[in-house]
Amino acid sequence: MRLENKVALVTGASSGIGKASALLFAEEGAHVVVADVNETEGQAVVQAIHDLGAKAAFVKTDVSRAVDCEHMIAFTEKTFGKLNVLFNNAGIMHSSDDDSQATEEEVWDLTMNINAKGVFLGCKYGIPALRRAGGGSIINTASFVALLGAATPQVAYTASKGAVLSMTRELAVIHARENIRVNALCPGPLRTELLMKFLDTDDKKQRRLVHIPMGRFGEAHEMAKAALFLASDESSFTTGAEFVVDGGITSAYVTPQ
């Protein structure tokens, strides 16, 4: 198994990419800490992992709060003795996120606090734990919109994911000689609750679909498989990467420099 004897912490693990990844990591031998603000759904993921015969635990976490992020790392080490994989996946896409004129300051702040600050805080408290374990893998969920503009205006979300991508590169360079790898997973448009709530009309969905060469939305389990590669030792020479899994959308619209 690809994550045997490893301990993985996944934020935003009650649904979408986080849930699919937590389950897959467990199937591949990891002990999994499920971190989320949604306790009911988070505990359900833990139970699903237990049903697989694997070990898991839930910790209620608001990733925008330093005290919560510090606690989730301490909880992980106390529960399973170490931390090997940190998947900073929690994020939001606010329904009122729009262009710079229509987006309220409160929506901007909330989005940046969860999507960008949450990754910073996860790394702030998680990297010392990875050091104590002798190294490990950090995966930060960015997005294809960190590489090109979104067809549907979402200025706060796009800016937050650009911040995640830049932060990932810098942390990768800083910690490369500590056996700590830091990579960004850049999903394309997915058929997740998060995006489907944002693209709440057929017109909005079609405006996004028309740009995807493969002609469909991606699935959470497809992102989980990409995250598994980055979490495992198979990616031992991969750090600072933009791991793009997007159905070809950036290949169609990004011009090489």
Q: CA-to-CA distance for 183 and 235, rounded, in angstroms?
A: 10
Q: With beta carbons less than 8 A apart as the criterion, state whether 254 and 218 touch.
A: no
Encoded tokens for 47 = 């139970």
Q: CA-to-CA distance for 147 and 183, rounded, in angstroms?
A: 15
Report residue 63: phi and psi, to 5°. -70, -10
Hey, is 146 helix, strand or coil? helix
- 253 is known as an active-site residue: no
Active-site choice (58, 108, 120, 157): 157
3-state class percentages of the chain: helix first, strand second, coil last, to nearest 5:
50, 15, 35
Q: CA-to-CA distance for 165 and 244, rounded, in angstroms?
A: 11
Catalytic residues, which ones?
157
